[in-house]
Structure 1
Amino acid sequence: MNTIYLVGFMGCGKTSVGRELSKRLEVPPYDVDSTVEKDRGQTIKEIFKNEGEEAFRNYESLAIRQLPVQHAVVMTGGGAVVREENLTYMKNNGIVIYLKTSFPVLWNRLMKEEERNKRPILLTSSKEEVQKLFNERSSHYEQSDIEIVTDQLTTEEVCAQILDELSRLNIR
């Protein structure tokens, strides 16, 4: 099985779906943001503050290339696909799955305090600015191999749809 890369805007469920999907497929999960934090010895928030977004995106691109390209589920950061090189790399080395979630659903999830504090952009941006970013990234996400609409689904239901789609495409 090639690696499965989960992409989508922050709050779409990449982490929870990735963990559950890796259990069902019996392959290890890898979180790109956690990998960057571990490699850099800083939180994402600290990297943004100390070095800026461009530095973080460089670390993110490097982390994506250092993770396994077989028998794994990789949860990417929300902005990973904005760099064409990342999307191309992921598509060449696995299956890219877009967890498509509408902005109103995302915004409700992101406004929970524990989410807000984890995400640097939410501390400095208005709802309109976050929506603009969402709109800018959508066309990148839509270049994925598979799209799963997650608005009304549980983590388990999203995983079931992914597995159905992989089976339909003869990918396992």
Structure 2
Amino acid sequence: MNTIYLVGFMGCGKTSVGKLLSKQLEVPPYDVDSTVEKLRGKSIKEIFQSEGEDTFRNYESLAIRQLPLEHAVVMTGGGAVVREENLSYMKDKGIVIYLKTSFPVLWNRLMNEEERKKRPMLLTRTKEEVQALFGERSKHYEKCDIEIVTDHFTTEEVCHQILEKLNRLNTKQLDKTKK
């Protein structure tokens, strides 16, 4: 099994889905943001404040390339696919799954005070600015291999949808090799 990369806007469920999916597939989970924090010895919030978003994106790109290429589930940051080279790399090394969530559902999830504290962008941007960012990033997310709509689904239901689509994809690939 190649690596599965989960992408989507902040609050779409990459971390919770990634952890459960890795258990179900019996492969390790890797969180790109946590990897950056370990490598840099700072929280994402501290990196944003002291070094800026561009520097964080450089660290993020490096971290994506340092993670395993097989038998893993990787949860990316919400902006990882904005850099075309990251998306190309992930598509080349595995399967990229977009956890698609509507903005109203995302905003509702993100308004939780604990979530706001973890996400540097939410501390400095208005709802309109976050929505504009969501719109900009959506065109990048839609270039992924598989799209899973997460609105109003539990983590378990989203994982089930992913496993079904992966099974269909594997069946199609097997059929092609038989012909």
* TM-score of the superposed pair, with normalisation by structure 2: 0.95
State the Cα distance separating 1:20 from its structure 2 match: 0.1
SS of the residue corresponding to residue 21 of structure 1 reads helix
State the Cα distance separating 1:152 from its structure 2 match: 1.2
Q: Match for residue 16 of structure 2?
A: 16
Q: Match for residue 147 of structure 2?
A: 147
Q: Match for residue 85 of structure 2?
A: 85
Q: Match for residue 100 of structure 2?
A: 100
AA partner of residue 117 (structure 2): N
SS of the residue corresponding to residue 148 of structure 1 reads strand
Q: Which runs of 5+ in 1 are unaligned?
A: none
For 1:79 and 1:147, how far apart are their aligned partners in 2? Answer: 17
> What is the percentage of aligned positions where both structures have the same residue?
81
Describe how 1:1-172 pairs up with structure 2 within 5 A. 1-170=1-170
Per-residue CA deviations over 1:30-77 (Å, capped at 9, x if unaligned) read: 000000000000000000000000100000000000000100000000
Q: Which runs of 5+ in 2 are unaligned?
A: 172-179
For 1:91 and 1:70, how far apart are their aligned partners in 2? Answer: 13
SS of the residue corresponding to residue 169 of structure 1 reads helix
For 2:38 and 2:170, how far apart are their aligned partners in 1? Answer: 35
For 1:60 and 1:93, how far apart are their aligned partners in 2? Answer: 16
SS of the residue corresponding to residue 152 of structure 2 reads coil
Per-residue CA deviations over 1:123-142 (Å, capped at 9, x if unaligned) read: 01000000000000000000
CA RMSD of aligned residues (A): 1.0
- Runs (4+) of structure 1 exceeding 4 A deviation are none
AA partner of residue 166 (structure 1): L
SS of the residue corresponding to residue 163 of structure 1 reads helix
Number of residues paired by the alignment? 172
* TM-score of the superposed pair, with normalisation by structure 1: 0.99
AA partner of residue 4 (structure 2): I
Per-residue CA deviations over 1:70-113 (Å, capped at 9, x if unaligned) read: 00000000000000000000000000000000000000000000
For 2:60 and 2:168, how far apart are their aligned partners in 1? Answer: 31
